[in-house]
Chains A and B, each alone.
Chain A
Amino acid sequence: ALHAKETVKIVFIGPLTGGNAALGLGGRNSADLAVQLHNADAKAKYTFDMVKLDDQCKPDIGVQVATKAGADNGIIAGVTHYCSAVAIATVDTYHKFGLPVIVWGAVLPAITYGNDYPEIHRVNGTMINQNEVNAKLVTGLGYKTWVIIHDTTDYGKGHDEYFTKFLTQDGGKILADFGVGADQQDFTAILTKVKELNPDVVYFGGLTPIGVRLRSQMDKLGIKSQFEGTSGIVSDSYIQALGPLAEGTIAFIDGAPIDKLPGGKFFLDQYAAHKYGEPPEAYGPYAFVAANLIMDAIEKVGPNRKAVTAELAKTKDHQSIVGPITFDAHGQNVVPIVTAYVVQDGKWVVWGDSDYAKGKRKLAGGK
């Protein structure tokens, strides 16, 4: 380009400090990657400048930064929030300021379905779908009894609720249901109880740090049950922190397996090439996609919040590295796919492709 392009500001918001920082940083890097790649594209009309804000995973701070972004008329749209409590707290703010945002990680259904705000969109799935698929798959494997452990945040509690619902429908039996604190270290007391109950499967609704602790303490106590989790543990650090113990863990994510989709490998390669300090984690690709959706919309209709909002609403069958994106009336991506993963030889492998599905290896719990 010979003449200077107009610069447009967009915002990324996520937890950059504190306990959930790993995921927040992965999201930020991925969104940043999207912007970098876009800016490197000579054909693009605009250069994008991404403001990055930290919501600390706290609702009140979230409202503050949302106000900051919303009140800044230079900012056209946002890639916002990993934590559900923050995302739900800020929807009013975005609506008030008319700032179109795409949620890139929070999974609470009410974020999109609890209101009619045209500004709010979400690329990742809600926790509903993955639990439905989850329950189907594992009951299909012949497991009969479960113990549910979930953290007491909105994330864990939501998963607990939906998984319980679907599992009971599918005929699974829940022997016990434990809530644990999000910063709890020691689970031996609970796990001793689990050992006594001797379930076929231990289901965990929560994020990687506790997932790691639970899995490793299960081993310590000699619990032989199968371990399965939610999207919160689908991360490299889960495997890295557990080593061989991670083997055989099942988990689900709303979306397509990234390395299978066109562009997925490109994303991973570029991510590596840009030498970010932290891995993208499970939700990085969503932040990447959200940022791209926004930039594409702006390229198309110009830097105008209303127009972008309208443009985003039209998103249908948009091909992305997490699969096709279609926003329903609530701005929710109607995710057609839920991918099941299992850890095999130190990698998250799509269930269907794994030795476990093929019967070459056996999961725990004797099935």
Chain B
Amino acid sequence: MDPGVLAQYAFNGLMLGVIYAMVAVGFTLFFGVLDVIQFAHGDVVMAGAFVALATYLALHGLGVAVPGLVVIVVACAAALAMALLGALIARYLVLPLRAAPAFNTLLITLMLGSILRELVRLFYPNGSNPQPFPRLLPTASVNLGNFTLRLDTTILLVVGLATIFVVNLVVRRTRLGLAIRAVAQDSETARVMGIDFQRIVLVTFAIGSALAGIAGVVYGLYYNEVNFDIGLLLGVIGFSAAVVGGLGSIYGAIIGGFLFAALQTIGSVALPVSSAYNNVFAFAVVIILMTWKPTGLIAEPTSERV
């Protein structure tokens, strides 16, 4: 195959992988702090994108047009709004179900996801239809043979990786990270250590959701289009990526995200029959991977003993 084309595949795959990884990291964080799956997470990404879009339109209406500034304001608005949303979800939907089986959280967040989706569809102007997302980044590009390297995409890739990196640092290197992991394992004993359980949970959900908000912005800027129903599939893939990578490990989530993107890309490119099989292919590989590594690629070290 032409090296340029190959590079193009790889680059697009990377970009897709970054988005998946950003979503997957959220799943891992929530799982890490409360052992729960926040199934509305994909819809939080969508909501983030719509907040960004609305902010942009508001700025546009106000006549603010400094390109760099607009991007930053838009991204911050999405991140903050989603952080707040995440904290609210944790406070009013997830924590009240603490005592119930973990799967009940799954149902309540599933419903929340459809509520978010319907809210956007019904109350965002013309929300049933795809919305154009503005191109706010410089679109210069270089052509290297068959490979088009675009500046905006490159920026997005770097920003996405950087946010994941920062979140990873926060979680690994600060007391917060230790507290998150402690809370996940034994919330009561964590409190006995002086950890403010509720605060840690809210903060974790806020961080994960802010990341989703930024993922929403990246999504919008990359595809220049957002739709109210992008969340469900993103959520499922993010969840799958987190699990394939190994729940509870941020690196696992990242690897899972890129792996998923790679599988889909390879599926589309290499399968002779029809690229519609690419999901069949990706998920079949997932099943095989899970059989091979039942606790994910970065398996948790066993800490259980008898």
Question: In the complex they form, do A and B come into direct contact, defined as C-beta atoms under 8 angstroms apart?
Answer: yes
Q: A: which residues have CB within 8 A of B?
A: 17-19, 21-22, 25, 152, 177-181, 183-186, 188-190, 192-193, 195-196, 208-209, 212-213, 216-217, 220-222, 235, 237, 240-243, 278-279
The A interface is mostly helix, strand or loop, or mixed, namely: helix
For the complex, give the distance between the alpha carbons of A217 and B143 in Å: 17
Contact with A along B213-241 (1 / 0, CB 8 A): 00000000011110101101110000000
A217–B15 Cα gap in the complex (Å)? Answer: 13
Q: Are B128 and A189 in contact (CB under 8 A)?
A: no
Q: Is B111 an interface residue (CB 8 A)?
A: no
- Report the bound CA distance from A336 to B148 in whole Å: 45
Instruction: Using A196-B5, A213-B223, A279-B126 as known contacts, say yes or no to A185 and B274 having CB atoms under 8 A apart.
Output: no
- Among B153, B229, B232, B265, the residue within 8 A (CB) of A189 is B265
Smallest Cβ distance from B118 to chain A, in angstroms?
7
29 A-B contact pairs sorted by A residue (CB < 8 Å): A21-B121, A22-B128, A25-B128, A178-B274, A179-B275, A180-B276, A186-B12, A186-B223, A188-B15, A188-B16, A188-B265, A189-B13, A189-B268, A189-B278, A190-B268, A190-B275, A195-B5, A195-B8, A208-B130, A212-B130, A213-B130, A213-B223, A221-B8, A221-B12, A222-B141, A222-B148, A237-B129, A242-B225, A278-B128
Complex Cα gap A209–B15 (Å): 21
* In the complex, B295 has a CB within 8 A of chain A: no
Q: Find out whether the CB atom of B126 lies under 8 angstroms from the CB atom of A192.
A: no
How many Å from the CB of B168 to the closest CB on chain A?
A: 24
Q: Which residue of A lies closest to B233 (CB)?
A: A183
Number of A-B contacts (CB under 8 A): 106
Find chain B residues with CB under 8 A from A241 CB.
129-132, 225
- A181, B276: Cβ atoms closer than 8 Å: yes
CB distance from A179 to the nearest CB of B (A): 3
User: B128 to A21, Cβ gap below 8 A?
Assistant: yes
- The CA-CA distance from A288 to B20 in the complex, in Å, is 43
* Given known A-B contacts A17-B118, A196-B2, A278-B126, A212 and B264 have beta carbons under 8 A apart: no
Q: How far is the CA of A130 from the CA of B233 in the complex (A)?
A: 32
Which residues of A sit under 8 angstroms from B227, Cβ to Cβ?
Answer: 209
- B98 CB–A CB distance under 8 Å: no
The answer on a CB contact under 8 Å between B146 and A195 is yes
B9 within 8 A of A: yes
Bound-state Cα–Cα, A179 to B268, Å: 10
Write out the residue numbers on chain A whose beta carbons fall within 8 Å of the beta carbon of B274: 177-179
Q: With CB as the reference atom, state the residue of chain B lying closest to A237.
A: B129
Contacts of A18 in B (CB 8 A): 229
Q: Are B232 and A192 interface neighbours, CB within 8 A?
A: no
Residues in A whose Cβ lies below 8 Å from that of B129: 22, 208-209, 235, 237, 240-241
Tell me the bound Cα distance from A189 to B269 in angstroms. Answer: 6
| B150 interfacial by beta-carbon distance below 8 Å | yes
B8, B12, B130, B265: the one within 8 Å of A209 (CB): B130
Contacts of A240 on B, CB cut-off 8 Å?
126, 129, 132
A residues within 8 A CB of B279?
A: 181
A178 B12 Cβ-Cβ under 8 A: no
Nearest Cβ on chain A to B58's Cβ, whole angstroms = 18
Please determine whether A185 and B230 come into contact, CB atoms closer than 8 angstroms.
Answer: yes
Within 8 A of A (CB), among B250-265: 264-265
A208, A235, A242: which contacts B132 (Cβ < 8 A)? A242
Measured between beta carbons, the chain B residues less than 8 angstroms from A195 are 5, 8, 146
Centre residue among A19, A25, A279 by max chain B CB count within 10 A: A19
Near A by CB (< 8 A), chain B positions 92-149 give 118, 121, 126, 128-132, 141, 143, 146, 148
B234's nearest neighbour on chain A, judged by CB, is A185
Residues in A neighbouring B126, C-beta threshold 8 A: 237, 240, 278-279
**Alpha-carbon gap, A152 to B279, bound state (A):** 12
Residues on the A chain within 8 Å of B146, using CB: 195-196
Chain B residues with Cβ below 8 Å from A208 are: 129-130
Least CB distance from A337 to B in Å reads 27
A186, B276: Cβ atoms closer than 8 Å: no
B residues within 8 A CB of A190?
268, 275
A179 to B223, CA, bound (A): 20
Verify B128–A178 contact, CB threshold 8 A: no
- B264 and A186 contact, CB distance less than 8 A: yes
Roughly how many angstroms separate A185 CA and B225 CA in the complex, as a whole number? 10
Contact between B268 and A193 (Cβ–Cβ < 8 Å)? Answer: yes
In the docked arrangement, what's the CA distance between A22 and B9, Å?
A: 33
- Name the B residues within 8 Å of A25 (CB-CB): 128
Query: How far is A232 from B274 in the complex, measured between Cα atoms in Å?
Result: 22
> When chains A and B are docked, how far (Å) is the Cα of A177 from the Cα of B153?
27
Report which residue of A22, A195, A217 has the largest number of chain B beta carbons within 10 angstroms of its beta carbon.
Answer: A22
A192 proximity list for chain B (CB < 8 A): 5, 8-9, 12, 269
Chain B residue numbers with a CB within 8 Å of A17 are 118, 121
* Extra pairs beyond A22-B129, A196-B5 (12, CB < 8 Å): A178-B276, A179-B274, A181-B276, A189-B12, A189-B269, A208-B129, A213-B225, A220-B222, A221-B148, A240-B132, A243-B132, A279-B126
User: In the assembled complex, which residues on chain A have CB atoms less than 8 Å from the CB atom of B16?
Assistant: 186, 188
Minimum CB distance partner of B275 in chain A: A178
Please report the C-alpha to C-alpha distance between residue A179 and residue B264 in the assembled complex, in whole angstroms: 14
Query: A183: which B residues are within 8 A, CB to CB?
Result: 229-230, 232-233
CA of A5 to CA of B146, assembled, Å: 71
Docked pose: A243 CA to B129 CA in angstroms: 14
